[in-house]
Amino acid sequence: SRRDHGSYDCFVLFLLSHGGETGVLGTDGQHVSVDSIVSSFQACKSLVGKPKLFFIQACRGGEKAFLKNPDQKPKIDSNESPDAGEKTLPTTSDRLVMYATVHGHVSWRNSDTGTWLVQVLADVITEHAETETLLEMLTRVSRTLGL
């Protein structure tokens, strides 16, 4: 957080590690929470207001889930509406964290081509970067991975 990142437009971190329900393993074998990693970059003054993208390729538990019906869409049921009078952004509004799997589950990799998240993300960006927004591309990645 002491480095000056003033000449950069955004920050991107790919973190590939073994993990569990609340974090990942560091190189010393010690557990580190993803929140603490993200928070350290939120505190960096030269990154304030700049997009910070975190891609986490790690297990988040031991459950194994398989997509049974890729055409099935999740039902969204909410009576909440955004406050039209809200004028401030939350301190987390300039960050995005994408996990390779949902909470409590393992993440997948191919021994030949690598992690599914990184491979699908690279393929989607290569094919759609000139015609789609980042949100549209990440939605494609999520749908492909069944997240």
- CA 85 to CA 78: how far, in whole Å? 20
44 has catalytic annotation:
no
Residue 57 gets the label, from left (phi > 0), alpha (psi -120 to 50) or beta, of: beta
Q: Which of 18, 31, 103, 128 is catalytic?
A: 18
Phi, psi for 32 (deg, rounded to 5): -130, 130
Cβ-based neighbour number of residue 97 at 10 Å:
16
59 has catalytic annotation:
yes
Q: Which of 10, 31, 59, 103 is catalytic?
A: 59
User: What positions carry a catalytic annotation?
Assistant: 18, 59
